[in-house]
Structure 1
Amino acid sequence: MTDSPLISGVQQVGIGCRDVDATWKWYRQLLGFDVALFDDSAEAKYMIRYTGGKVHSRRALLALNMSGGGGLEIWQFKSRESAPMPFQPVPGDLGIYAIKFKSAYVDRSHSWLQKKAGSAVSKLVQLPGGKGFWGVDPFGNNFQVVEDNSWFKEDARPVGGVLGAVIGVSDMEASLKFYRTLLGNLEVEYDETGHFDDLPDGAASRRFRRVVLTKKETPHGAFSHLLGNIRLELLQDLERNPGKLFADRFWGDCGYIHLCFDTLDMNRLKEVLENSGYPFTVDSGESFGMESAAGRFAYVEDPDGTLIELVETHKLPVLKKIGWYLDLRKRKHQRPLPNWMLGLMGLGRVKD
């Protein structure tokens, strides 16, 4: 590997949907993702490997929660109807089963979401890594809210941004090797095999191996303080043959389409992954623009084919209203951007 981290945090999770506006409204009003970093319509020309060999047009909106954590890339096909999930996902199914959202005050987060979403939210439970709860959005996407201590700022939002994801795997050791290679210095926070009462969708009756991996925030990368910690939860079902969440479906169809990490040195990371047997399956190779943002992006698959996106940001809209954009390629270091500068993105907040 290398002495310096190659990834600073979770940049976003992609959510495939049929209506960007309706999906963003729910996440904006209930979970505080009220800043749109970009809202872009274009052709997804690089992704034909995962879209049936054809170029499809799409709309993508990147929403941020300025409390801290990763964002949500809300994604909708425009050239075809986004296909729904053909079955109800359960823990252990291969792919991204749930987003992990962070909370500084889990009791307050739970009360807020129970009031707004009712039966779609579980009771408070003890999760690996802290107290939390499970929920499902109106579009059938599962999520988890759990305690975390990495914050850009604590404000009135009842829930923070993306901390990580719950991912179903078929071979835990193979998956651990992949994610350690990808993320570098990971701490195994939890590794247990057995039955887990907190798991939803009938999974509490089955045996799992459950591993939680944590990567603590470090002062490397322009957005490291905004993004904070990373926490991944890997679930291997030991009693059934799991379904694959995107089998016979297109990337961009309904559900969690990718987990994206903020990448600090794409060339070096590509070398590390390829030398370990994990080649890029997509690589823009150059700076790719999305409305007022730009960067190089790539994709790699975990051992079960779950799509991991990697983005090396080149251009960032700091204050779109006055046309202030930051070219990160001109920086000669990887230290975090000043908090006041990152905080200016919050001035574009949508207030319902």
Structure 2
Amino acid sequence: MKTTINGIQQMGIGVANAREVFNWYYKTLGFDILVFEDESTAALMLPYTDGLPRERLALLALNMIGGGGLEIWQYTDRIPQPPINEISVGDLGVNLMKLRSPAIPQIHSKLASAQASFLSDVATLGEGKSHFFLTDPWNNHIQIVEDDYLFSPGKNGSGGVMGAMIGVSDMEASIRFYKELLGYDQVIYDKTGIFQDFRGLPGGDHSFRRVLLRHSPRPIGGFGELLGPSEMELVQVLDRKPNKIFEKRLWGDLGYIHLCFDISGMDYLREECKALGHPFTVDSSDSFDMGEAAGHFSYVEDPDGMLIEFVETHKVPILKKLGIYINLKKRNPHKPLPKWIVKAMQVHRVKGEFNIPNR
């Protein structure tokens, strides 16, 4: 069986207080489905945690409008460290995450009422779609992009993760990586210059090459219809030397720590990554267990060392109180789950804030 990439499963965010961050994304941007909350030891990420197992708290939040979720990740045995330098556009790694929205005026108005920290006004992209930039209260930059993909109607106006803006040092090498390994085979635009919509972003007044990649329609399975199509925007700054965002820091420190793809066919993918010169740097080998979810995960590095996670999901809770789970190992990996099953995850919708403990 060859590899099937079902979509972006989640964006990992390293934080100092996971429940506080969840509350903000739940109230402000509609990530109100709490798939799991798991406190345990991260024992397999040793190449990126100074060779030591680390205690951590992880929450996975989804937005049912459609798109990837958020893995909100907190060290519980050390104080997570901020970047050495302020993150500027073009620095190496995830500069920001892209969230889809079928209703840009609605979500912009809601965020304005919530006194969000905007980094730009609403502007038009080259293909005529609207977008704008903002930052969350912990200085993680976000782009809201007009997109008509809809898995389930929602009142919030903003959907899930539809991609990322990634700083790169060698555009051609990065295009090859994201095209050959992840299937982003369509170049939507490739432009160079100083960009007005970047002006409010840190370092946005420099000269850049921007390449927006999308993938052709492709087979999906499992939760692929919830995750939806996605895009990557690669950004290379041309008139300064970019910093590496996670230089002298650990995975799990503050900021965007990885981009995770939901896949089927991990064994085939392992060989494919090795053949492309990007072998797995972490491999759970069989199955990890996060208490309420289980699967097989691995990591590779992009040409600049940014971490890409792959997860082959085996088990996901639907009705936890009744012990009802989806066992994906027994299903055709190329067939999406029925929508009614995926929508049943709405029983995990949070209707009130977490009590935030002192840590």
Question: Which band: TM-score by shorter chain?
Answer: over 0.9
Q: Report whether the alignment pairs 1:233 with 2:233.
A: yes
**CA offset at residue 333 of structure 1?**
4.3
Name the structure 1 match of 2:347.
347
The aligned length equals 350
Query: How many Å apart are 1:204 and its aligned residue?
Result: 4.1
Alignment correspondent of 2:249? 249
Aligned pair in 2 of structure 1 residues 57, 320: CA closer, same or farther (>3 Å)? same
Contact 1:37 1:64 in 2 (8 A): yes
CA offset at residue 220 of structure 1? 1.6
CA distance in 2, matches of 1:91, 1:38: 32
Q: Once the two structures are superposed, what CA deviation does each residue of 1:260-288 show, in whole Å capped at 9, x if it has no partner?
A: 00111111111111111110000000110
Counterpart Cα distance in 2 of 1:114 and 1:338? 37
Q: 2:29 aligns with which of 28, 31, 54?
A: 31
**Structure 2: how far apart are the matches of 1:287 and 1:180?**
28
5+ residue gaps, structure 2, are: 353-359
Q: 1:134 deviation in Å?
A: 0.1
> Aligned runs of 1:201-212 on 2, under 5 Å?
201-212=201-212
Structure 2: how far apart are the matches of 1:117 and 1:302? 36
What SS does the aligned partner of 1:24 have? helix
Q: CA RMSD in A?
A: 1.5
AA matched with 1:51: T
Contact kept? 1:216, 1:228, Cα under 8 Å: no
Give the aligned partner of residue 260 of structure 1: 260
Instruction: Read off the aligned partner of 1:40 and give its amino acid letter.
Output: D
User: What residue number does 1:221 align with?
Assistant: 221
Find the aligned partners of 1:277 and 1:103 in 2 and give their Cα distance: 36
Matching residue of 2:357:
none
**What residue number does 1:336 align with?**
336
Q: Which residue of structure 2 aligns with residue 47 of structure 1?
A: 45
Q: In structure 1, how many angstroms separate the alpha carbons of the residues matched to 2:276 and 2:300?
A: 12
CA distance in 2 between counterparts of 1:303 and 1:273 reads 12
Preserved CA contact (<8 Å) 1:114 1:121: no
Give 3-state SS (helix, strand or coil) of 1:183's partner.
Answer: coil
Aligned residue number for residue 173 of structure 1: 172
CA separation of 1:105/1:295 partners in 2, compared to 1, >3 Å: closer, same or farther? same
CA contact (8 A) 1:186 1:215 kept: yes
The aligned residue for residue 277 of structure 1 is 277
SS in 1 for 2:157: coil
**Residue equivalent to 1:92:** 90
Q: 3-state DSSP class of the match of 2:221?
A: coil
Query: What is the aligned partner in structure 1 of residue 12 from structure 2?
Result: 14
Equivalent position of 2:194 in the other structure: 195
Distance 2:126 2:301 in 1: 26
- Following TM superposition, by how much is the alpha carbon of 1:120 offset from its aligned partner in structure 2, in angstroms? 3.3
Q: 1:131 and 1:82 mapped to 2: Cα distance?
A: 35
Q: Distance in 2 between matches of 1:63 and 1:100?
A: 16
**Aligned partner of 2:259: which letter?**
L
CA distances 1:274-308 after superposition (whole Å, capped 9, x unpaired): 11111000000011011210000000000000000
Q: 1:202 to 1:16 in 2, by over 3 A?
A: closer
1:166-190 deviation digits (Å, cap 9, x = unpaired): 1000000010111112212521111
3-state DSSP of counterpart to 1:205: coil
One-letter code of the match for 1:322? L
2:114 matches 1:116: yes
Of 67, 72, 75, the match for 1:74? 72
SS of residue matched to 2:45: helix
Deviation for aligned residue 1:203? 3.7
What is the CA-CA distance between 1:5 and the residue it aligns to? 5.7
C-alpha distance in structure 2 between counterparts of 1:128 and 1:213, whole Å: 13
Note the alpha carbon deviations across 1:105-159, whole angstroms, 9 max, x for none. Answer: 1111111112113443521012355211000000010010001122211221221
**Contact in 2 for aligned 1:181/1:273 (Cα 8 Å):** no
Runs of at least 5 residues in structure 1 that lack an aligned partner in the other structure: none
Distance, in Å, in 2 between the alignment partners of 1:217 and 1:33 is 26
Contact 2:88/2:204 (CA < 8 Å) preserved in 1?
A: no
Contact 2:298 2:310 in 1 (8 A): yes
Task: Give the secondary structure class of the aligned counterpart of 1:46.
Answer: coil
Q: Which amino acid aligns with 1:350?
A: V
What one-letter code is carried by the residue in structure 2 that aligns with 1:167?
Answer: I
- Structure 1 vs Structure 2: percent identity of aligned residues? 47
Query: Which one-letter code corresponds to 1:232 in the other structure?
Result: M
Contact 1:259 1:309 in 2 (8 A): yes
Contact 1:217/1:224 (<8 A) preserved = no
Deviates more, 1:24-33 or 1:324-333: 324-333
Alpha-carbon offset, residue 91 of structure 1: 0.7
1:316-341 CA-to-partner distances (Å, cap 9, x unmatched) read: 11222321101111113421000000
Three-state SS of the structure 1 residue aligned to 2:296 is strand
- Corresponding residue for 1:315? 315
Any idea what SS the aligned residue of 2:115 has? helix
> Aligned pair in 2 of structure 1 residues 217, 102: CA closer, same or farther (>3 Å)?
farther
Match of 2:105 among 81, 103, 107: 107
Deviates more, 1:253-262 or 1:174-183: 174-183
Instruction: Give the stretch that moved more between structures: 334-343 or 199-208.
Output: 199-208
Aligned equivalents of 1:326, 1:204: Cα separation in 2: 44
Name the SS for the 1:30 alignment partner.
Answer: helix
Aligned match of 2:355: none
